[in-house]
Chains A and B, each alone.
Chain A
Amino acid sequence: MNAPAGLDLASIPERIQSEVQRAIQRSIKGVEYIASSGPSLGSTPKDILASRGTMNLYHYRPVADEIYRVPILIVMATTNRGYILDMVPGQSFIEFLLKHGYDVYMLDWTAPKPEEKRLGMEDYVLDFIPDCVRRVQQDSGETDVSIIGYCFGGVLSLLYASIFNDGPMKNLICFTTPIDFREMKLFSNFSDRRYFDVDRLVDSVGNVPPEMILSSFEMLRPASRAASQVQLWENIWNDEYVKAYRMMDRWGTDTLPLAGEYFRAITKDLMWDNKLFNGTMSVGGRKADISRIKVPILHAVAEHDHIVPYEAAKHLIPKVGSTDKEEVMLKGGHVSLVAGANAIKRLWPKLDNWLGKRST
């Protein structure tokens, strides 16, 4: 009997041996996986400069002998923890920036407490960000500050930059930042104003629970969690795969609740009225039109982003008033754009190349 085309009979024993070994390893490592805790994340040395309710401002200790004049303030998305940008050594964006001579600060969030349900968009844009910028100026002794905003942190940074367009922001970098919320098709459908009573929800629950936020993210790709667990079992013999899986899984499920009034404003102003895109957005009575932004701006978007599709993000660069502006589309998804092996070879060097010459 002949072997099917392409099948090398001589390799079969070797293949069987390899599969048996992997099966044994799966059993051993599977037990280890259940019994052990995941890798320690967010461990780059830092000092807490300010902690006020949901707001935390960190300063990472510089490691280079010489640093750029302009410090960076990273504004994290309000739905997730900042340690996505500070995974383990060798895979930490923060560590990369420090080694490349940047002075790095991060505005990170903790879960808003029940009494913080009244925090609104104005608290984030007119209080927390300006307060952190002031503290960065004070701590670094520099007037200029560059801001990096990730996902909704990018939206908050855009609002801040539109309102405080006379400074002290030196450069603005947005990662996967939506401005046309109609194009976030599924989120838009979930929050259809004909059926979604945001007032009733917020008045009932106060802060929007993290389970609700997480399930709305997971609903965008409902089969992916099950498929990723199958893949985990397939690859559980591979320590590197397991480590990467655990890091991403822990972060992905570590979702934060959203302050009630803030969620109400996001739903009404952004999801329903698309005010950021239409140029009619205002925060605390102050107009926030992104065409007023004049600082150099870089927008990094991901080719396969299922949370912020390109259609929702593509108008940012055309709409800002800056002359020095660039959009860069890189391979990857919403998270792999900024963290993991893909980010190390694509986004991080691109950012360093763009920001270094604008940080002196």
Chain B
Amino acid sequence: MADKGNDPAAIWQTMIGEMEKGFNSFANQAMASPEFSKVMNQVGGVSAGAQKQLGEMMEKYLLAMNLPSRAQMVGMAERIQSIEGQLNEIKALLHQVHHNSLAPEGGYGAQRPPRTRRPPSEGEPK
């Protein structure tokens, strides 16, 4: 067998690994500077601000066009989610009632394993 130093596949993998490490390390150094934070947050801030303004403008436009806005659609989605949530709760409740009705006298708790386990002593297989 060829040793690892001559195996092209191993050389390729090592190269990828080293490139990854090198690039990560270089990028981490660059991102640790206050200048990076300043630029990143300026760009992020402008984009968040622009997103907000655009949203407000679109809302006015959609209102004029007699179309539902995103906020209204989100509101409707929230109501559906809330109904879904309540259905899940009812489902969980029904499941619990069904579970209890199947449980033997003394309740479901009687079916659970006893809480008497002790840790294995030293040297004993687990």
Contact = CB atoms under 8 A, between A and B. Distances in A.
B65 interface: no
B5 interface: yes
B69 to A, nearest CB: 13
A21 interface: no
11 contacts: A12-B2, A47-B95, A51-B89, A69-B115, A195-B42, A200-B45, A224-B24, A227-B16, A227-B17, A349-B126, A352-B126
Contacts of B16: 227, 230-231
Interface of A: 4, 6-8, 11-12, 15, 19, 47-51, 53, 62, 64-69, 100-101, 103, 113-115, 140-142, 185-186, 189-190, 192, 194-197, 200-201, 204-205, 219-224, 226-227, 230-231, 234, 349, 352, 356-357, 359-360
B13 interface: yes
Nearest to B41: A195
Nearest to B44: A201
Residue from B6, B32, B52, B115 whose CB has the most chain A CB atoms within 10 Å: B115
Contacts of A4: 6
Contact of B52 (A204, A224, A230): A204
Contact of B48 (A48, A68, A204): A204
Contact of A113 (B37, B52, B78): B78
The interface residues of chain B, by DSSP majority, are classed as helix
Contact of A8 (B1, B32, B34, B51): B1
Nearest to B3: A6
A141 B85 CA distance: 27
A332 to B, nearest CB: 17
Contacts of B34: 189, 192, 194-195
Contacts of A357: 119
Contacts of B115: 66-69, 103, 140, 142
A50 B6 CA distance: 59
Interface string B1-45: 111011101001100110110011001100111101110111011
Interface residues of B, number: 52
A217 B17 CA distance: 20
B81 interface: yes
Contacts of B113: 62, 64-67
B12 to A, nearest CB: 8
B88 interface: yes
Contacts of B48: 200-201, 204-205
A234 B74 CA distance: 44
Contacts of A205: 48, 51
B92 interface: yes
